[in-house]
Amino acid sequence: MPSLKNCMFKDLNDLSIQESISCDICIVGSGPAGISVAKKLLGSDVKVILLESGGIEPSVEHNELNKGENSGPRFLSLDASRVRCFGGASRIWAGHCAPFTKEDFKEKSFVPLSGWPIRKKDLDFYYKEAAEMLGISYDLFNHNNSINNSFSGVSFPELKGENSFLSSFVLQKSSASNRNFGTKYKKIFSDSNNIDVIFHSTVTKINVSENGKHIANIEAQDITKKKCIINAKKFVLAAGALENPRLLLDANNIFTNGIGNEKGFVGSCFMSHPGVPGVAEIFKTTKGLCLSKEKYSNDPIYQFASSTSEQLNNKILGHGFDLKPALDFANRSTYSSARLNTDYKKLFKHLNIGQTAEKVFCKYNGNKYSSNLWNLNVGLEQEPSHRNHLTLSSLSKDFFGVPLINMFWADISKREIVTVEKSIKLLARQFGRTNSGRVKYTEDFISGKAFYQPDSVNHHIGTTRMAKTIHKGVVDNNCKVFSISNLYISGSSVFPTSSIVNPTYTIIALSLRLGDYLKRSVA
């Protein structure tokens, strides 16, 4: 069986690529997860093939492969935040980073299926390495002192403090040059001696050995339907939380329900971070503040949430408060026709000509205005539930004949609604106990309309969850599929719970950990 001799970027359509190739480790997908696993293997003796469905740059025809169906009450755009090319979704990612907290990894008695088989300390080393890759400071996550200089800290001093019902967490933004792995790692991988990146190689089948215990090989095709079979000692699926379960479910040559699906968890427990906008208004008792640039910093961003102890006492899920100054005539965005059409009542309801003039003057002088009237949006951790799941379409197939994804995203759960309600009460109590403001639920919250907004977050989490035993998940604490000896999964699909922070930073940390593990185990 021929192997690749000269390592470089290759294309499946190249004549040099044979019908069958072999390597030590085959990684499917060159997004943040795939690149991070492969990065740990760079320069080693391990021969790696990294398969990418698209090319070096995105193309319309490859992104067409991301399309799928929705059958649930909530719509999820299946192709909105996915890119098939080198770097994957890192090319369109906003770059907000925060590690999961210690509590995120723990089991919560009131959240069925919660709890990771690993602890935060198992990831800390890799969080540090991921921070270096992203050009952010790991130490900053552990030192909250800079909140005093942040815009949130200056605007809401009353929400801080040891006895507060709330706590804050830091979000750092990775710069465009650091977060786009497609450009950042292009040269490093193209110069590699042990890693081949093969473009335009869409995995169309995973074949299980006859004894059902390991993966025999996988098949990849390009857009001309040229086929290549890849043999490897170990395989890693790093194709995202929608594509990973799709490939497993479609691998039915031995198991009719797909690979790793003995307990029905493949495709199940899908989670995102539902945003619930415009749930409350905050009326501060203090006057608005005009802040000069010396008085605050925009980076890092601090977001408030109910403290961990209050979350546990109230049996609520993780969440984050997104406080936005209320719309007024001093905001440029107010004058977009869409906002004027929908929000004009609010504009006139709270019209304060004096404050608007003060704000305009403040902005005119290059300063930032911290209003005394704010709108509250809440971002939610979603609980893992079989109600939210994806299956394979029985009707539609893609260009290669692989069934499309059928996503069933159920209505927001009762616990998710209660989380929003109770967390707003905690916020109101904190404002009240310091007599710094009062909080009012909006009509959209009371009527329930706020809970039925289109999803714009597009975080795909769950679907091949990590667990202690096969009875609660698909992969073990080393990201290996329980029932298959040589198949691993990396990415947010293995998260058992979603936390509230953006998933990519944890995807990278977890993938670096897997890369280290594979390097040791193959060696």
Within 10 Å of residue 107's Cβ, how many Cβ atoms?
12
Which backbone phi and psi does 289 adopt, to 5 degrees?
A: -120, 135
Which residue, 228 or 439, has its beta carbon nearer to other proteins?
439
Nearest distance from residue 350's CB to other proteins, in Å?
A: 12
Within 10 Å of residue 23's Cβ, how many Cβ atoms?
22
Nearest distance from residue 419's CB to other proteins, in Å?
A: 16
Which residue, 71 or 435, has its beta carbon nearer to other proteins?
435
Which residue, 78 or 426, has its beta carbon nearer to other proteins?
426
Nearest distance from residue 168's CB to other proteins, in Å?
A: 20
Nearest distance from residue 167's CB to other proteins, in Å?
A: 17
User: Which residues of the shown chain bind other proteins in the complex (CB under 8 A)?
Assistant: 283, 285, 424-425, 428-435, 438-443, 445-446
Which backbone phi and psi does 128 adopt, to 5 degrees?
A: -65, -45
Which residue, 439 or 487, has its beta carbon nearer to other proteins?
439
Which residue, 316 or 481, has its beta carbon nearer to other proteins?
316
Residues 6 or more apart whose Cβ sits within 8 Å of residue 452: 74, 411, 412
Separation CA 154–CA 144 (nearest Å): 14
Separation CA 245–CA 481 (nearest Å): 12
Nearest distance from residue 425's CB to other proteins, in Å?
A: 6
Which residue, 86 or 431, has its beta carbon nearer to other proteins?
431
Tokens of 441: 């639920």
Which residue, 175 or 435, has its beta carbon nearer to other proteins?
435
Nearest distance from residue 430's CB to other proteins, in Å?
A: 8
Dihedral angle at the C-alpha atoms of 13, 18, 21, 26, nearest 10 degrees? Answer: 0
Which residue, 78 or 279, has its beta carbon nearer to other proteins?
279
Nearest distance from residue 287's CB to other proteins, in Å?
A: 14
Tokens of 269: 């427990």
Tokens of 208: 């299980």
- In what helix (H) or strand (E) does residue 207 lie, and over which residues does it extend? strand 202-208
Which residue, 273 or 422, has its beta carbon nearer to other proteins?
422
**Each residue of 496-520: b (16+ CB within 10 Å) or e?**
bbbbbbbbbbbbbbbbbbbbbbbbe
CB 381 within 8 A of CB 498: yes
Which residue, 324 or 425, has its beta carbon nearer to other proteins?
425
Nearest distance from residue 288's CB to other proteins, in Å?
A: 16
Within 10 Å of residue 73's Cβ, how many Cβ atoms?
11
CB 440 within 8 A of CB 470: no
Nearest distance from residue 441's CB to other proteins, in Å?
A: 4
Which residue, 106 or 429, has its beta carbon nearer to other proteins?
429
Nearest distance from residue 443's CB to other proteins, in Å?
A: 7
Which residue, 283 or 482, has its beta carbon nearer to other proteins?
283
Residues 6 or more apart whose Cβ sits within 8 Å of residue 19: 227, 228, 229
Which residue, 340 or 446, has its beta carbon nearer to other proteins?
446
Dihedral angle at the C-alpha atoms of 395, 398, 403, 407, nearest 10 degrees? Answer: -80
Nearest distance from residue 434's CB to other proteins, in Å?
A: 7
Separation CA 8–CA 202 (nearest Å): 18
**Each residue of 288-318: b (16+ CB within 10 Å) or e?**
bbbbeeeebbeebbbbbbbbeebbeebebbb
Residue with tokens 């379409």: 393
| Strand-strand pairing, 9-11 and 368-370 | unpaired
Rg (Cα) of the chain, in Å, rounded? Answer: 24
Nearest distance from residue 198's CB to other proteins, in Å?
A: 58
Nearest distance from residue 500's CB to other proteins, in Å?
A: 22
Separation CA 321–CA 378 (nearest Å): 5
